[in-house]
Structure 1
Amino acid sequence: MDTDTAFPLTPELIWLTRVALLTALLWVPYILQLIVQLGPVKAVWDPTGAHPHNADWALRAKRAHYNAVENLAVFAPLALIVGLTGIGTEATALAAAAYFWLRLAHYVLHTFAVPVLRTVVFIGGFACQVVLGLTILGFL
């Protein structure tokens, strides 16, 4: 890639990459639980795709992973627009970094069934998305 025309790797894009990689790895704990529960052959040989997790924590981890995927669909375009248009600020860089840590915390808190704090952390992640969106719209 020609470095004269390449987009700079802004903090928002770096944190987006980290969020995407985190989200890509969140399946590992609950799939490992399923392998321990059923054995490796039965865990992968399920034509229906309805894996019966016996551990409640694994079901919560799966839901937290789905939530992370759903929210990545909101965060990613916002971070891309901020990063690629060069309108990033200290606030957007901080929001992108905070979003990563809040999503990690949300996964852990959801998996270990910590209800109130999980909700507070989720709202914090939403606030990070709002900061990016308001910056794009010129309100911040």
Structure 2
Amino acid sequence: MTERLTVGDTAPDFTLTSDTGESVTLSDLRGRSVIVYFYPAAMTPGCSTQACDFTDSLSSLQAAGYEVLGISPDEPAMLAKFRESDGLTITLLSDPDRSTLAAYAAFGEKKLYGKLVEGVIRSTIVVDPEGKVAVAQYNVKATGHVAKLRRDLGLD
């Protein structure tokens, strides 16, 4: 497994397909701060809670200069259903081969209901305008995470 990213690291660049079929490249967003969050699966209760929280905060995050990208291994068609069913406005990206998840150390061994399994590690990385990691949070909780992140970023 890749080492976890820490503050000051260069954020690994990626190009992924969104739920609308367009390609999104992290380096194209230089000059802006980007919240990149990784979640296990669209249309699941925890992931819906987190995605809805980011959607609810999106306009204030954007006003503070942040873009939000949610990444999961789901295919774009599933992400489109997720957007539709939960009324999401954040950008959802598909990483079916898990290469971006791996580059960000957001895929690997984790505990699930007391068992050690391999899967997506719910994580949030904030990338600064120069492409460096400003915040790296791993094993975050779906509920309350966005509020905590806003406090950590000094937005509340």
Q: Same fold (TM over 0.5)?
A: no
Larger relative strand fraction: 2
Larger relative helix fraction: 1
Q: Which has the larger radius of gyration?
A: 1
TM-score (norm 2): 0.28
TM-score (norm 1): 0.31
